Amino acid sequence: MLAVWCTVLAAGLGTAHAQSHTPLGNPNGNGGQEGFGFFGAFGSDGQMPDFSHMPDMGAMLGDMPEGPTGKVDFQSSDLPLIQLFTDSLRITKQKKITARMTITDNGSGRRNTPDDAPNIYDGAIAIKIRGNSSAAFTQKRYTLETRNADGTKAIVPLMGLPADHEWVLLGPYNDRSMMRDAFAFDLWRSMGHWGPRVRYAELLLNGEYRGVYMLVEKIKRSAERVNISGMDAEATQGEDVTGGYILRVDAPDDDLATFQSKVDGVGSAPNFGGFGGFPGGGGFPGFGGMEGFPGFGAFPGGNAFPSMQGGTDPKAPGAAEKGNSEAEKAALSHPVTWSIYYPKKSALRPEQLSYIEQYVEQAERAIQRGKGYEKLIDAESFVDYFIHTELSLNADGFKRSAYFYKDKGKAARLTAGPVWDYNLAYGNCNFCGADDINGWVYNGCETNPTPAMWKSLAQNKAFMDKVRKRYRELRRGILSDKAVNEYIDTHAGMLAEAQERHFAKYPTLLKDGKVPDADAAQTSAQAQQDAPDNAAAGAETGGFGGFGGFGGFGGFGGMMGGGDTSWFDAYSVESYKEEVEVLKRWMASRLAFLDNQW
Residue % of the chain over a pLDDT of 70: 69
Confirm whether 582 is domain-assigned: no
Using the predicted structure, report yes or no on whether residue 480 has a pLDDT greater than 90. Answer: yes
Q: 249 and 208, same structural domain? A: no
Q: 186 and 113, same structural domain? A: yes
Looking at residue 177, what is its pLDDT? 98
Contact status, residue 114 vs residue 81, Cβ threshold 8 Å: yes
Hey, which of 25-29, 47-51, 122-126, 313-317 has the most confident mean pLDDT? 122-126
Q: 154 and 110, same structural domain? A: yes
Least confident stretch, 28-32, 82-86, 93-97, 537-541:
28-32
DSSP letter at 450? B
Instruction: Give the Cα-Cα-Cα angle 179, 247, 349 (nearest 5 degrees).
Output: 145
Using the predicted structure, report yes or no on whether residue 555 has a pLDDT greater than 60. Answer: no
The number of CA neighbours under 13 Å toward the Cβ of 45 is 4
Domain residues for the domain of 243 are: 238-269+338-459
Q: What is the mean pLDDT of residues 569-594?
A: 97
Run of H or E including 528: helix 518-541
Q: 254 and 191, same structural domain? A: no
Domain count, the chain: 2
pLDDT band, residue 567 (cuts 50/70/90): low
C-alpha–C-alpha distance, residues 568 and 304, integer Å: 8
Tell me the one-letter amino acid at 384.
D
Q: 9 and 149, same structural domain? A: yes
Looking at residue 334, what is its pLDDT? 75
How many angstroms separate the Cα of 447 from the Cα of each of 182, 269, 523? 25, 8, 32
> How is the beta sheet containing 402-406 ordered, strand by strand?
257-264, 335-342, 245-249, 402-406, 415-416
Q: 22 and 153, same structural domain? A: yes
Looking at residue 175, what is its pLDDT? 96
pLDDT tens digits, one per residue of 203-241: 999 999 999 999 999 999 999 999 999 999 999 999 999
C-alpha–C-alpha distance, residues 49 and 46, integer Å: 9
Looking at residue 135, what is its pLDDT? 83
Looking at residue 514, what is its pLDDT? 62
Confirm whether 405 is domain-assigned: yes
Q: 179 and 254, same structural domain? A: no
Q: 263 and 166, same structural domain? A: no
C-alpha–C-alpha distance, residues 214 and 575, integer Å: 21
Looking at residue 568, what is its pLDDT? 79
Cβ burial of 440 (10 Å; 0-12, 13-18, 19+) is middle
Crossing angle for the helix pair 379-392 and 180-190, to the nearest 10 degrees? 150
C-alpha–C-alpha distance, residues 229 and 287, integer Å: 48
Cβ burial of 87 (10 Å; 0-12, 13-18, 19+) is exposed
pLDDT tens digits, one per residue of 506-532: 999 998 776 444 334 333 333 333 333
Q: 196 and 87, same structural domain? A: yes
Higher pLDDT, residue 293 or 459: 459
Q: 147 and 249, same structural domain? A: no
Residue 258's SS3 state is strand
Residue % of the chain over a pLDDT of 90: 64
Instruction: Give the Cα-Cα-Cα angle 189, 260, 439 (nearest 5 degrees).
Output: 50
pLDDT tens digits, one per residue of 121-175: 999 999 999 987 788 899 999 999 999 999 999 999 999 999 999 999 999 999 9
The closest alpha carbon to 12, from 27, 29, 24, belongs to 24
Q: What is the mean pLDDT of residues 59-67?
A: 55
For residue 214, what are the β-bridge partners?
A: 170, 200
Confirm whether 255 is domain-assigned: yes
Least confident stretch, 262-271, 304-313, 344-353, 561-570:
304-313
Residue where one domain finishes, among candidates 441, 459, 477:
459
Using the predicted structure, report yes or no on whether residue 8 has a pLDDT greater than 80. Answer: no
pLDDT tens digits, one per residue of 393-436: 999 999 999 999 999 998 999 999 999 999 999 999 999 999 99
Q: 186 and 153, same structural domain? A: yes
Q: 116 and 20, same structural domain? A: yes
C-alpha–C-alpha distance, residues 1 and 5, integer Å: 6
Residue where one domain finishes, among candidates 425, 459, 493:
459
Other beta carbons within 10 Å of 526: 15
Radius of gyration of the chain (CA): 24
C-alpha torsion sign, points 86, 89, 94, 96:
negative
pLDDT tens digits, one per residue of 249-290: 999 999 999 999 999 999 875 544 333 333 333 333 333 333
Rounded to the nearest integer, the mean pLDDT of the chain is: 78
